[in-house]
Amino acid sequence: MQGYIAEVTDQNKTLFNKEKVLTVLFSGCNFRCPWCFVPELLNFKEQKDIKDIKNDIRRLCPGKKSIVFTGGEPLLQKQTLRDLCVFSKSLGLRTGIETNGSVPDVIGSLLKESLLDFIAMDIKTQFDEEQFERATQSQTFFVSGHQIMMDIRKSLKILKDYEDTIDIEIRTAIIPGILFRKEDLIAIAAELRHLRCTWRIQPFIPGKCVAKQIEQIEAPSERFLETLADTCQSRYPQLRIEIGGRNEENPEAVLY
């Protein structure tokens, strides 16, 4: 078996509890978010033998408790992802994914087999088709933005069914000019109000992006994020909201 996988690494990623994890970077994504900072992972390329990927995982796993499959969008390669989850479980690793939530059937399948311990899922915008398409550029001739949003809602429903058995983190990036209004965040909060999860409101981090014009946008201030979080928290006090998405001691290390 082969898969579109760019790299296996033990660098630059920690769990939200600061635990260092192994990371498997899948190539290929069905979204083209303008602020994406890993454009090299958007296309399906560099197909590799899964035996070599497993050898890398085995070599790097000593001292690690968990492994995260990310990308790109790992759920687009169902069989490869499942095989690596099974293998990682055999090594005693906790397994998790980072996903845009657009492939609910794969999420459901992996959870049904008890192959996941944690999921981090992006909610890019509120469920408004025009705003969603502007933020993700995911609509195609074959799949409408409305259908993709319905798939993401289906993923949220699946997560609700498994909220007692896995750790769930929902992430939303605040990007001035795209997603920054209080009403946008309140609409997302309404979708999450019944889900037991951590909702992480993250700042957009300026730097290399898919869309060059996005690189010039200033990151939102921590105070601005706090105001958004406080507004949502007052409306839905049962939500667990956290702010931030980078390791302060190492800005290149992304917090799960």
The full 3-state SS of 12-55, as one line of letters, equals CEECCCCCECEEEEECCCCCCCCCCCCHHHCCCCCEEEHHHHHH
* Domain interval for residue 116: 2-255
| Euclidean distance between CA atoms 196 and 203, whole angstroms | 22
Contact at 8 Å (CB) between 203 and 230?
A: no
Least confident of 23-27, 160-164, 176-180, 213-217: 213-217
Q: How many CB atoms lie within 10 A of CB 192?
A: 22
Instruction: Say what the pLDDT of residue 121 is.
Output: 97
Confidence band of 244 (pLDDT split at 50, 70, 90) = confident
Domain harbouring 198, CATH code = 3.20.20.70
Q: Which helix (H) or strand (E) holds 173?
A: strand 167-174
Residue 247 reports pLDDT greater than 50: no
Decide: 27 and 45 in contact? Cβ < 8 Å: yes
Q: What are phi and psi of 63, to 5 degrees?
A: 90, -5
Q: pLDDT tens digit string along 184-211?
A: 999 999 999 999 999 999 988 776 666 6
pLDDT, position 240:
96
What confidence category does residue 110 fall into, taking pLDDT thresholds of 50, 70 and 90? very high
Count of structural domains, the chain: 1
Cα angle 175-177-179, degrees, rounded to a multiple of 5: 50
